[in-house]
Amino acid sequence: MIGSTLRISCATRVLAPCLGAVGVGAASALSGHISRHLKRRTEEGKGIIEAMVGDSPFWSSRLDINEAVLDAITGLAIFKVCFIEGGIVFYRQAY
């Protein structure tokens, strides 16, 4: 999606996969940040909706760079194992 937004052809051998990796890593880092924020806020007795957009929304909490990098690396590794051809989720035998 990032590549098509920037009008990068799938035939580009290096740039399109790099942007895909950046997209997966960024999504993983953001989801890790949001899940930690929700866990912290729900432990304080807030509901999920209030924890997301209430008096302290997820974008107002401090982002820990070490956790974000770990989330991005973990997300890329899981993506590689599960979704790349030959991975455990979408394995298809060629006919």
For the chain, the domain total comes to: 1
Query: Which pLDDT band, with edges at 50, 70 and 90, does 8 fall under?
Result: low
What value does the mean pLDDT take over residues 77-85?
75
- Alpha-carbon distance of 37 to 57, in angstroms, equals 9
Residue 18 domain boundaries:
2-83
CB distance 75 to 24 below 8 Å: yes
Instruction: Give the residue, 5 or 80, on which the prediction is more confident.
Output: 80
Give every CB contact of residue 71 below 8 A, 6+ residues apart in sequence.
28, 29, 31, 32, 33
* 89 domain residue, yes or no: no
Question: What pLDDT does 20 receive?
Answer: 81
Q: How far is CA 31 from CA 53, 54, 71, 82, 88, in A?
A: 15, 18, 8, 18, 22
* 88 domain residue, yes or no: no
What value does the mean pLDDT take over residues 58-66?
76
Question: What pLDDT does 10 receive?
Answer: 60
* 90 domain residue, yes or no: no
